[in-house]
Amino acid sequence: MSQLLTRGERAFRLLSGVTLALVLLLLYLPLLLMAVLSFQGEARTRFPPTELTLASFRKLFNPSNLDLFTIDGEPIINYFPALRLSLMLGLVTAIVGTSLALAAALGFRQKFMGRGVVFYAICLGMVIPGIVLGLGVRIFTDTVGIPAHWYTTGILVHVAWTLPFSFLVFLIFLNRFDRSIETAAAVLGAGPFTVFRTVTLPMLRPALLGSLLFGFTLSFDEMQRSALVLGTDQNLPRAILSAATIRITPVIYSIGTLIATVSLVLVTVYLVLFERERSRVAVTDAARAEEP
């Protein structure tokens, strides 16, 4: 069919290809422009950049060196406390969310009463609009007297947001999982914990990595839910947005460029590794299928 395209199909192929190209342009051109403008020396972020310097990166890394900030009215913001907080919150959220989600997904391999209700209860954390979840937790904890910090309400809300995603990742994996391998290990005398550690967990490695990555990214980028539950603690999205509300300077572009680059590299590495692992599993599956 692909060899014999009608004229209409050829036209549509061209049209849809152009659409994709435009979408990619709209997705990546801003990133490129932001990267270019982060090397601009002036406080104004005018296009095209008149001079390319490392000034904004120097300001980003030395916020306490006031001599660097020579432009009138330029906001001086130290992003590192917010960055540290976001990294910490992301890490804790990823680990807690992944552990709870893995346990829940393993439990879902059995039938039990209220399974459907539990499924929807877990997914509720994902489908409730972010601002609503934040508001609910904020009013509730305010009333019962729990102070809002990243390590109290912050973790509570962030895990509630990422846990359903991790849960779905594990469900997708476990539903395609051949349980006869576990049975084989068990028949050969391995206890339930040994089976889990030596058979189930290694096979779930891609899902485990995916869930950790998902949990970390969702928490690291979290803005809608964090607006009301972090109290005086500020995570990076809030710090960046509140700085941008005052004035957008090349320093904001430089931290944006750094973070975007690091996330893109990390995710690409993960996806390439994942694809390799998957094709390896697919090859062994194919080899097994060929055996009589």
Partner 1 sequence: MTEPALAHQPSSSVSSTPREISNVDVEAVLRRRARRSALLLVGPAVLWMSIAVVVPLAFLAWVSFWRLDGFTLVHAWDPETWDFVLRDATFRSLTLRTLEVVTIVLAAVVVVGTICGYFLARFVRSRTLQAALLLLSILPFWISYEIRIIMWRPLFGSDGLVNYLVSRVGVTSEPITLFLYNQHAMILAMASLYVVFVIGPMTWGFGRIDREVVMAARSLGASPWRCFWTIELPLAKGGLVAGVFFSAIFLFGDFATERMIGGAQSPMLAGTIEDNANLLQWPTAAALAIVLTVISLVFLGVLMKMHDLRQEL
Enumerate residues 186-225 that contact partner 1 by CB under 8 A.
186-187, 189-192, 195-196, 217, 220-221, 223-225
Note whether 247 and 75 are within 8 A (CB): yes
Return the ∠ at Cα 185 (arms to 184 and 191), rounded to 5°: 135
Minimum distance, C-beta of residue 164 to partner 1, in the bound complex (Å): 8
Pick the piece of the chain touching partner 1 (CB under 8 A) from 57-65, 87-95, 265-273, 280-288: 265-273
Note whether 161 and 219 are within 8 A (CB): yes
Minimum distance, C-beta of residue 46 to partner 1, in the bound complex (Å): 4
Nearer to partner 1, 66 or 188 (CB): 188
Distance between CA atoms of 115 and 99, rounded to whole angstroms? 19
Asked if residue 277 binds partner 1 (CB under 8 A), the reply is no
Asked if residue 227 binds partner 1 (CB under 8 A), the reply is yes
Nearer to partner 1, 76 or 131 (CB): 131
Cα-only R_g, the chain: 24
Among 71, 87, 135, 203, binds partner 1 (CB under 8 A): 135
* Strand-pair partners of 52: 40
Question: If we measure between CA atoms, which residue out of 85, 234, 219, 88 comes closest to residue 161?
Answer: 219
**Three-state SS letters, 259-276:** HHHHHHHHHHHHHHHHHH
Asked if residue 283 binds partner 1 (CB under 8 A), the reply is no
> What is the CA 15 to chain-centroid distance, rounded?
32
Nearer to partner 1, 22 or 65 (CB): 22
How far, CA to CA in Å, does 211 sit from each of 14, 95, 108, 219? 37, 9, 17, 12
Minimum distance, C-beta of residue 208 to partner 1, in the bound complex (Å): 16
Minimum distance, C-beta of residue 280 to partner 1, in the bound complex (Å): 16
Among 53, 62, 65, 268, binds partner 1 (CB under 8 A): 268
Instruction: Please count the residues of this chain forming the interface with partner 1, following the rule CB under 8 A.
Output: 109
Asked if residue 259 binds partner 1 (CB under 8 A), the reply is yes
Among 82, 85, 94, 122, binds partner 1 (CB under 8 A): 122
Asked if residue 130 binds partner 1 (CB under 8 A), the reply is yes
Question: If we measure between CA atoms, which residue out of 273, 4, 237, 281 comes closest to residue 130?
Answer: 237
Residue numbers 82-111 binding partner 1 by CB under 8 A: 100-101, 103-104, 106-111
Distance between CA atoms of 271 and 206, rounded to whole angstroms? 10
Asked if residue 180 binds partner 1 (CB under 8 A), the reply is no
